[in-house]
Amino acid sequence: GAVVSQHPSRVICKSGTSVKIECRSLDFQATTMFWYRQFPKQSLMLMATSNEGSKATYEQGVEKDKFLINHASLTLSTLTVTSAHPEDSSFYICSAIYESTDTQYFGPGTRLTVL
C-alpha cells in the first residue's frame, strides 16, 4: 500500500511553453501533498505544500505564478510549470502523507528538460 505515482516520468518541451505534471495517490486519500525539486547531487528542495480544496502554500523564493499547483481531489495534485525556461529543467518529485502511519511517501519523479 501507500503508492504514489507521477505522470509523465519524462518531458521535453520548448522554452516558453507550459508543462503539467500529475501526482496521484493510488491506494489512499491524501489531504496533503508536497512538491519538491531536486538538482543533480543535491537533496530535495521543498517547493510547496498542496492541500486539497485550498490554495497551496509556497516556500520562500518559489514563484507562485510560475509553478501553479492544484489539489482538486483527495488523490490528485498537479504542478504546472508556466512559460518554462531552460533554468526550470530539473527533477520534480511529489509526495503524499499517508495519514494512517503519518508517513510521507514519494512518487517516482518527473524529469523536465526545457530546450
Partner 1 sequence: EDQVTQSPEALRLQEGESSSLNCSYTVSGLRGLFWYRQDPGKGPEFLFTLYSAGEEKEKERLKATLTKKESFLHITAPKPEDSATYLCAVRLYNQGGKLIFGQGTELSVKP
Positions that interact with partner 1 (CB under 8 A): 2, 4, 6, 32, 34, 42-44, 46, 49, 57, 91, 93, 95, 97, 101-109, 111
* Nearest C-alpha neighbor of 66 from the set 53, 52, 49, 47: 47
Say which residues have a Cβ less than 8 Å from residue 89's Cβ, sequence separation at least 6.
112, 113, 114
For residue 19, the minimal CB distance to partner 1 (Å) is 18
| Nearest to partner 1 of 93, 114 (CB atom) | 93
| Nearest to partner 1 of 17, 111 (CB atom) | 111
| Nearest to partner 1 of 59, 82 (CB atom) | 59
For residue 85, the minimal CB distance to partner 1 (Å) is 23
CA–CA separation, 59 and 42 (whole Å): 18
For residue 52, the minimal CB distance to partner 1 (Å) is 13
Instruction: Give the chain's radius of gyration (CA, Å).
Output: 13
24 forms beta bridges with: 5, 76
For residue 49, the minimal CB distance to partner 1 (Å) is 6
Collapsed DSSP state (helix, strand, coil) of residue 109: coil
